Structure 1
Amino acid sequence: MKKIGIFIIGFIFCTTGYSQAIYESFRSIKLDQNRELKIQLPRNYKKNVDKTYPLIVVLDGDYLFEPVTGNVDYFSYWEDMPESIVVGVNQRKTREDDCRYDVAEFLPSQKGAEFFEFIGQELVPYINKTYRTAQLKIIVGHDYTANFINYFLFKDNPIFQGYICLSPEFGPPMGERIENVLSSSNDIWYYLATATNDAENIKKDLVSLDEKLQAIENPEVHYFFDNFEESSHYTLVGRGIPRALEAIFEMYRPISKKTYKEVLLPLETSVYDHLVDMYRTTEKLYGFKRKIRVNDFIAVSTAIEKKARDENERWNELEPLGKLALKEHPDTMLGHYYLAMFYEQTGEPKKAMRAYENGFQLSEVAFLTKDYMLDKVNKIKEDFGY
């Protein structure tokens, strides 16, 4: 146990060493006061000068910022979500006024209306101007602030596409409004969480709302709900944040063994086309283009090989796959290897040999080594007497 504790402490220090928070005082004209911000930039943000990053705005930054940034840093380290910019807004002394709404229309009023304008008209534009943000923007809140973040959802062109509502204490018509908006929204991720030991009125409202939201038939909305066993109004936060990030970025993750077995192998259409469509879809959904992972190339090529043993024409898929790998990873052996396999399996050994030789001069990647490529060249020479 002591070793495990030392490892965890070491990991925390390592993590914070790579992605430390920036503390900043922001002067708001809308609020006529300064607001304390916490900003965490991705690892190597300064080195990746051409890269843009999703923005995650965290209300109740006093206590929600660190759980969110810890999960974002961890998930992005393992490529289960994109690296992201996280901005926390401290509200320890102001959250009641910030979330204020009138009791007639149940919309932000007084200080609440000013805070709404501060987020949409000052904070987000400032972050967009100062840092390299991508199109995708997510907002996070807990109880009062989880109710408040929904007001952004009601705008004609919402500035946020993702909403993480942790045990929201809704105003009276909020549930009905959310149901109406999600029925006709486009490209929205909406996560809602409660728990068995949550406040009884909150849990009852959210369970009831979930039944209505589950019935919405809108493929453009990605809705997720959790009712955590044995968690409270406060402890559900620690479980809800990673669950929400997993759900929102489900399509971003690398091709898993499960996906390989259940999707790629049974696929009757082109496996190569599936890879291209998958990345095109995630670009549309998340608003930024990303390089195709080596892991995903290997998963697709393995499926092509396996299926080609039964259907010989499947080998033809290796040619466009090789050309795509040359484009995505030009400094590695990957693309030349796939082209060499294509030539070898379609009866062009000389072209295959040259492709293996071209790959030999580039960087090793995954299972591809110089010795492996050289063995492939020598085997062709032996078989055909070159």
Structure 2
Amino acid sequence: MKKSVTLIIACIFAVSSYGQTIYESFRSIKLDQSRELKIQLPRNYKKNEDKIYPLIIVLDGDYLFEPVAGNVDYFSYWEDMPESIVVGVNQRKTREDDCRYDTAEFLPTLKGAEFYEFIGQELVPYLNETYRTAQLKIIVGHDYTANFINYFLFKDNPIFQGYICISPELGPPMGDRISSKLETSSDIWYYLATATNDADNIKKSLIALDEKLSVIENPEMSYLFDNFEESSHYTLVGKAIPNALEGIFEMYRPISKKTYKEVLLTLETSPYDYLVDMYKTTEKLYGIKRKIRINDFVAVSTALEKKENWSELEPLGKLAIKEHSDLMLGYYYLGMFYEQTGEPKKAMRAYESGFQLSEVAFLTKDYMLDKVNKIKEDFGW
């Protein structure tokens, strides 16, 4: 099992090498010093000049950047999350000072207050100006830095919408503050992780915090918690990062076989409306407008055929033509709609129109020609 996990992590690191990683030295006025940054841009970032990308800030970038960047590149390659810009802030010599808080109010103080302002007032604005960032921003931390990232959550309008807190060493009132904030937060993803072999004080505090957070009834907030078996304070990182990304981007993923069987086939409402609403929701959640996937069109059309809901093939076909005008998919759906509703001439013309376009999925020119010829034979044309 350990060998398998090691192999998976090695593959993830190998994948990250395909991204465009930039190393920068950023001069901070707030800190009165320079900070080393690692920046991974998405594949084909330069070619996709009109595309914007979520921004993921990784503290402890000297060791946490690579596993985060590798997972982001891997998941986005398979369209399980949007391509994203990942920025690591190296803190090997400064992390304790960067995360310092006072023992009275338990808020950032001295270098900690300066580092807080550096992230919010210098680094994020600089990245927004320099790169094509989307509205969605996520921040990642581990133990000291995982406690620190929560301070950004407490702002009235947080600059980060996603928080990946891996085994945080929480300050004394931090748990209560997090619980209070998440009760009223909207459009926030909060991920928390510990492990059975984590440091005892950390593990106990996080299990207690989970008991508070898991009963919060706030549909505008998404909370996820992991307590990994047989993992330590350090090895849990390799499990937490992919779990956190999967949870945050659950709505972004393609329609799975499970969703097809348990949702689409059992819907009492419109599968077509489900598809449209799904993409509207992801646009609202992640701030990214995207074309509807071929896979999702096929899943919905298969459900419509299974349920013999022929009427919805017409709007589905028109939507497919709008989204993928170069493919024969939309005209195939229109052809099926006309064929099943007793308009063979319109069906034949739709199939003929599709024949001239590019093949996709199971649709080939021979298949479309067969549909045309079958109608001609049936009606003697």
TM-score (norm 2): 0.96
Query: Does residue 82 of the first structure (1) align with residue 82 of the second (2)?
Result: yes
SS at match of 1:265: helix
- Distance in structure 1 (CA, Å) of the matches to 2:251 and 2:376: 43
Q: Which amino acid aligns with 2:167?
A: S
- 1:286 aligns to what? 286
SS at match of 1:183: helix
Shift of 1:288: 1.2
Deviations 1:281-321 (A, max 9, x none): 1111111111110000000000000001xxxxx21100000
- 2:36 aligns to what? 36
TM-align CA RMSD: 1.5
- 1:297 aligns to what? 297
Shift of 1:384: 1.1
Contact 2:199 2:233 in 1 (8 A): yes
Deviations 1:242-267 (A, max 9, x none): 00001101111110111000000011
- Distance in structure 1 (CA, Å) of the matches to 2:81 and 2:324: 21
- Distance in structure 1 (CA, Å) of the matches to 2:20 and 2:198: 33
Query: Does residue 332 of the first structure (1) align with residue 327 of the second (2)?
Result: yes
SS at match of 1:37: strand
* CA 1:110–1:184: 2 relative to 1, 3 Å: same
Equivalent position to 2:370, from 344, 364, 375: 375
Contact 2:53 2:133 in 1 (8 A): yes
* CA 1:164–1:8: 2 relative to 1, 3 Å: closer
SS at match of 2:139: strand
- 1:202 aligns to what? 202
Shift of 1:18: 3.0
Query: Does residue 349 of the first structure (1) align with residue 350 of the second (2)?
Result: no
- Distance in structure 1 (CA, Å) of the matches to 2:17 and 2:70: 12
- 2:107 aligns to what? 107
- 2:272 aligns to what? 272
* CA 1:172–1:290: 2 relative to 1, 3 Å: same
SS at match of 1:178: helix
- Distance in structure 1 (CA, Å) of the matches to 2:367 and 2:75: 33
Query: Does residue 149 of the first structure (1) align with residue 149 of the second (2)?
Result: yes
Shift of 1:50: 1.0
Unaligned runs of 5+ in 2: none
Shift of 1:20: 3.1
- 2:245 aligns to what? 245
TM-score (norm 1): 0.95
- Distance in structure 1 (CA, Å) of the matches to 2:248 and 2:8: 27
Q: Which amino acid aligns with 1:238?
A: G
* CA 1:79–1:198: 2 relative to 1, 3 Å: same
- Distance in structure 2 (CA, Å) of the matches to 1:58 and 1:211: 27
SS at match of 2:184: coil
Stretch moving more, 15-24 or 164-173? 15-24
* CA 1:341–1:225: 2 relative to 1, 3 Å: same
Deviations 1:3-50 (A, max 9, x none): x9xx98996797355313110000111111100000000011111111
SS at match of 2:35: strand
- 1:311 aligns to what? none
SS at match of 2:307: helix
Q: Which amino acid aligns with 2:19?
A: S
SS at match of 1:18: coil
* CA 1:165–1:13: 2 relative to 1, 3 Å: closer
- Distance in structure 2 (CA, Å) of the matches to 1:184 and 1:147: 20
Indicate the percent of aligned positions where both proteins have the same amino acid: 84
- Distance in structure 2 (CA, Å) of the matches to 1:20 and 1:52: 16
- Distance in structure 2 (CA, Å) of the matches to 1:104 and 1:199: 25
Contact 2:9 2:238 in 1 (8 A): no
SS at match of 2:326: coil
- Distance in structure 2 (CA, Å) of the matches to 1:332 and 1:110: 59
* CA 1:301–1:229: 2 relative to 1, 3 Å: same
- Distance in structure 2 (CA, Å) of the matches to 1:18 and 1:284: 30
Query: Does residue 170 of the first structure (1) align with residue 170 of the second (2)?
Result: yes
Contact 2:16 2:66 in 1 (8 A): no
- Distance in structure 1 (CA, Å) of the matches to 2:161 and 2:12: 30
- Distance in structure 1 (CA, Å) of the matches to 2:212 and 2:273: 36
